Structure 1
Amino acid sequence: MFEWVTNLVAAGGLAGVFALMVLENLFPPIPSELIMAAAGFAAARGEMSLVGLIVFAVAGTVAGNVVWYELGRWLGVERFRPLVARYGKWFAVEEEDLDRATGLLRRFGPIAICFGRMLPGVRTLISVPAGMVEIPRGVFYLWTSLGSLIWLTFLATAGYMLEDHYDKVQHWIEPLAWVVVGIAAGGYGAHLVFAFRRARRRRA
């Protein structure tokens, strides 16, 4: 899979990196860890600029989060709560998660947004409650950009440095890529099972 993602990124160029990062932040088809490591690897092979891919990746991340932040801001907490109660289990979000996220953002604001960008499963979801508690747009986009810049630079640089040692790690990088995808899929599946069990217990 790693080689496939690397070829996909190289074929799409910087615009492809931007598009993949937008999608990763809307509904992750490929984890950003894999996208950026592959993009960094492609940059090391001279297929794109390392600085350019970081800039386009951050821009794609922010663009993807515009949708969730503005949706959260438009809905507000109380309008969003019935949707979470009814459909949230399909998207790994429950009312308890909503309350926890909004409380965290009201208390820590920019710091939560910045560090939330570096946590799988949190980095996309945090944009909705950030909009719902009406964190100022300038604050949200500034700290989203900063957190994304730190995390994506780390991932891209790791992929870039991997190129010189690819012959030493190629025997485990492919299985590891599938492990990342498998963990994401397994985590989502486990969440659905537990969410439906809790829903049945509440109706009983």
Structure 2
Amino acid sequence: MTQWILDTIAAGGYWGIFFLMTVENIFPPIPSELIMGMGGINVASGQMSFIPLLVAGSLGSTLGNYIWYMAGRKMGYERLRPFIDRWGRWLTLDWHDVEDMIAFFQRHGHWIVFVLRFSPLLRTMISLPAGLARMNRVRFLVYTLAGTTIWNILLIGAGIFLGTRFQEEVDKFVGPLAILTIVAVVGAYAWRVIRWRPRT
């Protein structure tokens, strides 16, 4: 997967970043940290510019989240239940979890969409309950874009830091770091599946 990400960035440039960030927010195991971090390394080496990279990454991320939002909005609250009953084991969710998620969302307000953009595990998941709760579309997009932009600035900055200081050594670390990130995400998911028990 690491090589595919690197090849996509090399071949597609900013459009490659846009595509990868869209896909990353639909299939979370693809790490945005690697995508935008590599973009930052490319900025440090002069192959990319900061602002176009930030725009491409943030718009791609917002689009990916919007797809989840629309899925929740179109599906509707009650129509989700058969899906959860069937696939809840692999989603590590039961219907009580969905009800709690919606209630939490309604209690704490729409600001949670902005705040959770900084959470690696929850930044995509929150888009579904936002759609289920029929959050205002424009407000969802604005909060998502704002949180995503700040997060991407941090990731690009980290990439620039690495690229500037360890330019000759960076290739040695990119592969292992990407593998470590993916293994950690997959391992956390597997542990959650093994430990998960539906509430009665």
TM-score in same-fold range (> 0.5): yes
Equivalence map 1:7-26=2 (5 Å): 7-26=7-26
Q: CA deviation at 1:168?
A: 6.4
Comparing 184-193 with 152-161, which one deviates more in the overlay?
184-193
Instruction: Report how far residue 32 of structure 1 moved.
Output: 0.6
How far 1:12 sits from its partner (Å)?
Answer: 1.8
Distance 1:121 1:95, change over 3 A: farther
Q: Which ranges in structure 2 are unaligned for 5 or more consecutive residues?
A: none
Tell me the residue number matched to 2:137: 137
Per-residue deviation at 1:6? 4.2
**Is structure 2 residue 179 aligned with structure 1 residue 178?**
yes
Is the CA contact 1:2–1:177 (under 8 Å) kept in the aligned structure 2? yes
Residue type of the alignment partner of 1:191: R
1:193 correspondence with 2:198? no
How far 1:82 moved relative to its partner?
A: 2.5
Q: Residues of 1 paired with 2:71 and 2:5: CA distance?
A: 30
Q: Match of 2:70? A: 70
The structure-2 alpha-carbon separation of the partners of 1:79 and 1:2, relative to structure 1 and needing over 3 Å to count, comes to closer
Q: How far apart are the structure 2 equivalents of 1:7 and 1:87? A: 34
**Against the structure 1 CA distance between its residues 52 and 136, is the aligned structure 2 distance closer, same or farther, given a 3 Å change threshold?**
same
- Counterparts of 1:156 and 1:180, CA distance in 2: 17
| Stretch deviating more after TM superposition (104-113 or 169-178) | 169-178
Change (3 A) 1:4 1:72: closer
Q: Within 5 Å, which residues of 2 pair with 1:46-85?
A: 46-85=46-85
Distance, in Å, in 2 between the alignment partners of 1:8 and 1:41 is 15
Provide the rounded CA distance (Å) in 2 between the counterparts of 1:89 and 1:52.
Answer: 41
Distance 1:172 1:43, change over 3 A: closer
Structure 1 unmatched runs, 5+: none
- Give the drift of 1:120: 1.4
Do 2:37 and 2:158's aligned partners in 1 also have CA atoms closer than 8 Å? yes
Deviation at 1:116, TM superposition (A): 1.0
- Match of 2:120? 120
Q: Which amino acid aligns with 1:30?
A: I
Partner of 1:45: 45
1:89-133 residue CA offsets vs partner (Å, 9 max, x unmatched): 223433343223212211222220001111112111111100111
CA distance in 1, matches of 2:11, 2:93: 35
- Inter-partner Cα distance in structure 2 for 1:172 and 1:17: 20
The residue that corresponds to 2:35 in the other structure is 35
Q: Return the letter of the residue paired with 2:154.
A: F
Tell me the percent identity.
Answer: 37
**TM-score, structure 1 normalization:** 0.86
SS of 2:77 mapped into structure 1? helix
Residue matched to 1:90:
90
Q: Partner letter of residue 193 of structure 2?
A: L
Q: How many residues matched? A: 199
**Which has the larger helix fraction?**
1
Q: 1:45 to 1:128 in 2, by over 3 A?
A: same
Deviations 1:67-87 (A, max 9, x none): 211111122222212311221
Let me know the Cα RMSD of the aligned residues: 2.3
